[in-house]
Structures are given as C-alpha cells and as structure tokens.
A = this chain, B = another copy of it.
Amino acid sequence: MYSFKDDYSEGAHPRILNALIETNLKQVTGYGEDEYSLEAIQLIKRKMNSPQVHVHLMCGGTQTNLTVISAFLRPHEAAVAANSGHILVHETGAIEGTGHKVLACEVKDGKLTPEDIHAVLEAHTDEHMVKPKLVYISNPTEIGSIYIKSELEALSRFCQENKLFLYVDGARLGSALCSDENDLELSDLPRLVDAFYIGGTKNGALLGEALVICRDSLNEDFRYHIKQKGGLLAKGRVLGLQFLELFKDNLYFELAKHANEMAGLLKTELERAGFGFFTHSPSNQIFPILPDKLIAKLRENYEFYTWAKMDDTHSAIRLVTSWATEKEAVLGFCQDLQNYCKD
C-alpha cells in the first residue's frame, strides 16, 4: 500500500535529522534566539535579496495564519479569501476565534482577482459591516493552481491602492515556485506582498514555516503575538536547524522540484490514458477524474482522497506527491493504471 494522500506522511529529509543529531548537545539560547535560528533567518533573507524584511520561524500553518491575521488587523477589520481558502474552511474557525470575520469570494480555480476583492469592498461601505482589510491567498491554492507574476502584481497593485494588506499562505510555496508554469522568484515576493510564509512542514521539515513580514510597521512587537498565541518554542533550535539545512544550499527547491516531477509523471500518464482533470494544477497536487470502478481498483494498492463526485460513475480524486515520494511508487502507479485500463 502506498499513499498519495498528502505531503506530510513521512518524516523529514535525512539531512535535517543529521543536523539535529550533530548539534544536539550544544547549549544555545531558547525561544528562537539561538544561533541556528538567527543564521537561518539571515540565509532566507539573502536568498530573497531582501535584507530589510523580518523573518520568524513558526510551528505550523494554522498557527502562522492566526498569529499574522490577529496581529495585523484591528477588531473590526476582516480578511478576504477565496471560497476554497484554507482559513475559511479548514482551520476550525481559527481566524474567527481571534475575533475576525473571513469574507468569502466565490471563485472557480482557487485564485482571487482584483475584481473579486473589488466586489467585496463595494459591498462593505459603512460601520454596520466589517471593514475588509487583509487579502489572504495561497500559492499554490488549495486546489493546486498557482499565481503567475502578472496576476500577483495585479493583486499587489490593487491592494496598495485600496490600503489592503496582501498575505500569502505558502504552505506549499516551494511547489508553486518550482512549477513549470511559474514565473515568480522568491525574491519577487517581498516587493509584491506584505507578508507570506515559506512552508517547511510540507517540503522536507518535521515541522516549521518561515514567516516573512515585509513591512517594518507590521512587524512591530510581532514576537509578543507569537508568544501569546502559543507559537514560541522553548527549543527554537528545532526550527532554526531545519531551515538552515533547507536554505544553506538549494535543498528546499530541489525537494519541491522532486515533488512536482513526481506529480508530472502521474499527470502525463493519466493524460496519456485519456483522463481529464477537475482543475488545472501545475504543482504537487493533481485531481484526475476517473471511473469509480477504476478508483476502486486503485484503492487496492494506493491511498488517496476522493475529492468530488462528478457524475454517477465518475469522481475526481486527489493525488499528492512530496519530496519523499518514491519514483518507483509513481512508476508502479502508472503501470497499474495501464494494466487496469487494458482490462
């Protein structure tokens, strides 16, 4: 049985575990002020050619989203997200738990446009309604689509003109930036957005996300917020060492590239076999539409989620690959698919 359910089924990249072992007994300062964390932060800034930004190493995605949004917004201000947005649906009301409404935009491909946000602004005009103030997007989105540079630039411009913060949930940012269709550089982000995070958990780390805050004013007292929300690890070294390893060379991007390539192999084979897809997703998640009978057969050897029922005999499934996905498993899946289709 091999799992294509998600990109967090395995542990960490071996180099990360080695780094933990090699440094294990060195005594360092707690709460993220250790030498490893400080060095990792410097490295990440250098990778972005952005010495002026602020980087905080966080534990997980929901934690990061709720800490950022509650720190940036005043009580009456709201976030705007696509209807598929992770904060809208899959974080148990974590943002509302901090007091803020999340306003949903009905979109088809997981991506927000200036027009979507404009409509929200038009509908929120006075003090009887919340004030939209932060735009939340994910890149890639929850359904695997990615923002290309012109799209992000348009959002950026719109947000600046309308005094909105633009925040990118980058749980799988590596996969977006390493997509064949991507034309964004990591170093473009500080120029275009107010804050974003570089996901570690889903790209080789045991846990950890590197939050980048691109404006001094938004960073003021940010460590207070991390502590208050329970996100400040006593042994901050755990996060520092992982990001140090991921960014000291190109490991972070190599791992993301591998994940994308494995998804690409699956996609090519599925296309070759004549199947369509629920959505266009040039990242490490793909959503083929398959006959339910074929899905049942595949389930004998593979784990994956059914995403949506399409008609009486077809469903879309989700296949996710990761830095740890074995090429053999992918080829095996392709072979099985061929065999089942022959039958």
Interface positions of A (Cβ within 8 A of B): 2-3, 6, 8-12, 14, 17, 20-21, 23-31, 59-67, 70-71, 74-76, 78, 89-94, 96-102, 127-131, 201-202, 206-207, 221, 223-235, 237-238, 324
Contact = CB atoms under 8 A, between A and B. Distances in A.
A177 to B, nearest CB: 20
A324 B24 CA distance: 10
> Most chain-B CB neighbours within 10 Å: which of A8, A63, A201, A232?
A8
A296 to B, nearest CB: 21
Contacts of A227: 62, 76, 91-92, 94, 127-128
Contacts of A237: 11
Contacts of A64: 230
A12 B24 contact: yes
Nearest to A124: B89
Contact of A230 (B94, B96, B202, B235): B94
Contact of A206 (B62, B67, B235): B235
- The quantity of this chain's copies bound in the complex is 4
B76 A74 contact: no
B229 A97 contact: yes
A226 B97 CA distance: 12
A193 B117 CA distance: 38
Given A25-B324, A75-B98, A94-B230, 8 more contacts: A11-B26, A12-B20, A66-B229, A71-B75, A76-B221, A97-B99, A230-B230, A230-B231
A92 B206 contact: no
Nearest to A133: B221
A10 B25 contact: yes
A223 B17 CA distance: 28
Contacts of A226: 127
Contacts of A231: 63, 230
Contact of A24 (B11, B92, B230): B11
A25 B8 CA distance: 11
A206 B229 CA distance: 20
A94 B23 CA distance: 32
Contacts of A11: 20, 23-26, 235, 237-238
Shortest 6 CB-CB distances between A and B: which pairs? Answer: A63-B230, A76-B224, A11-B24, A92-B228, A93-B101, A9-B27
Given A92-B228, A221-B127, A27 B14 contact: no
Contacts of A26: 10-11
A273 to B, nearest CB: 25
Contacts of A229: 66, 94, 97, 229-230
Contacts of A129: 89-90, 92
A171 to B, nearest CB: 9
B3 A228 contact: no
Nearest to A8: B234
